[in-house]
């Protein structure tokens, strides 16, 4: 497709009725050590359920906007509230896995896996399901060195979508510019109805610069599209992305 055709047709979004609720938790479930934790899997399933519901809510808002030729304030306010809750929940699911993955790699690097497993298996006088699950996961990493390599690749696979999600969450929840806690976000939580999906689109900014526009649907699509088959981007490529997300040096 030519650039001119793309501009005429707009961005490519899958038809809403093609998207299934299980696709999002399935994409997250392919991350190393994710599916082995039923509680993390439950969170991802909840995220997929609400995502699928929100896709229809977004479509309804867009339909009203087109039919009435004005912003449907009541439905738009409801969509805004639910969008923020979804963003916060999505951030926490991915942040939890990401922190756990990084902690495991540190244990592998410093030789602390056995000690951590022993500590988790210490008899507390009662069954602690969470500790038992975590110990079992660490045993798998200890017995299979290829898992640590997959964890490292998976961290790179989610780096960009997590950064986008984190930037949006920080703006919404803390009213700050990501990485610059003393810099106030310009319009935290303010989104405009995307003319293709109905999902609210938000500015990702740094000071006076707008770095990107992103919607909740963009983020959920990017999670569903995590490529588990091919090699992820290199650390150098991700560093370039991180530098871009910081914005120009003359921020104000």
Total-model pTM: 0.91
What's the mean pLDDT in 5-15? 68
What does the block give as tokens for 73?
A: 């304030």
In the chain, the DSSP E strands lie at: 176-177, 180-184, 191-193, 200-206, 209-215
- Over the Cα atoms of the chain, what is R_g? 20
Query: What percent of the chain clears pLDDT 90, i.e. is strictly above it?
Result: 81
What pLDDT, on a 0 to 100 scale, did the predictor assign at position 4?
Answer: 41
Q: Which of 10-24, 26-40, 55-69 has the lowest mean pLDDT?
A: 10-24
CB 87 within 8 A of CB 172: yes
Q: Give the pLDDT confidence of 205-222 residue by residue, as tens digits.
A: 877 778 889 999 999 999
Q: What angle do CA 113, 92, 205 make, to 5 degrees?
A: 120
- Residue 232 CA to residue 238 CA, distance in Å, equals 10
CB 51 within 8 A of CB 220: yes
Which has the closest alpha carbon to 218: 164, 178, 173, 181? 164
- Residue 242 CA to residue 209 CA, distance in Å, equals 15
What's the mean pLDDT in 234-240? 95
In the predicted structure, residue 172 carries a pLDDT above the cut 50: yes
What pLDDT, on a 0 to 100 scale, did the predictor assign at position 8?
Answer: 55
pLDDT band at 251 (very low <50, low <70, confident <90, very high): low
Order of strands, edge to edge, in the sheet holding 200-206? Answer: 191-193, 200-206, 209-215
CB 197 within 8 A of CB 59: yes
Based on the number of CB atoms within 10 Å of its own CB, is 73 exposed (0-12), middle (13-18) or buried (19 or more)?
exposed
DSSP string across 80-136: HHHHHHHHHHHHHHHHHHHHHHHHHHHHHHHT-HHHHHHHHTS--SS--HHHHHHHH
In the predicted structure, residue 28 carries a pLDDT above the cut 80: yes
Q: At what angle do helices 129-143 and 113-120 cross, to 10 degrees?
A: 160
Q: Give the pLDDT confidence of 68-120 residue by residue, as tens digits.
A: 999 999 999 999 999 999 999 999 999 999 999 999 999 999 999 999 999 99
- Residue ranges covered by each domain of the chain: 19-242
In the predicted structure, residue 3 carries a pLDDT above the cut 60: no
């Amino acid at each position: 497709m030519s650039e001119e055709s793309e501009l005429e047709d707009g961005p490519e979004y899958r038809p809403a009725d093609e998207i299934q609720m299980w696709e999002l938790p399935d994409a997250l479930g392919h991350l190393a050590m994710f599916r082995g934790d039923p509680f993390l899997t439950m969170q991802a399933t909840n995220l997929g359920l609400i995502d699928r519901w929100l896709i229809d809510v977004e479509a309804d808002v867009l339909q009203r906007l087109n039919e009435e030729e004005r912003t449907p304030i009541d439905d738009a306010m409801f969509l805004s509230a639910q969008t923020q809750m979804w963003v916060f929940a999505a951030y926490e699911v991915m942040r939890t896995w990401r922190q756990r993955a990084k902690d495991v790699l540190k244990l592998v690097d410093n030789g602390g896996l056995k000690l951590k497993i022993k500590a988790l298996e210490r008899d507390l006088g009662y069954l602690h399901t969470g500790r038992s699950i975590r110990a079992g996961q660490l045993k798998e990493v200890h017995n299979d060195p290829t898992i640590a390599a997959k964890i490292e690749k998976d961290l790179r696979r989610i780096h960009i979508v997590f950064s986008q999600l984190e930037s949006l969450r920080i703006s919404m929840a803390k009213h700050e510019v990501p990485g610059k806690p003393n810099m106030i976000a310009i319009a935290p939580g303010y989104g405009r109805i995307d003319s293709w999906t109905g999902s609210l689109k938000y500015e990702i900014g740094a000071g006076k610069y707008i770095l990107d526009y992103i919607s909740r649907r963009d983020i959920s699509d990017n999670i569903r599209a995590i490529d588990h088959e091919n090699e992820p981007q290199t650390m150098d490529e991700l560093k370039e992305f991180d530098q871009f997300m910081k914005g120009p040096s003359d921020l104000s």
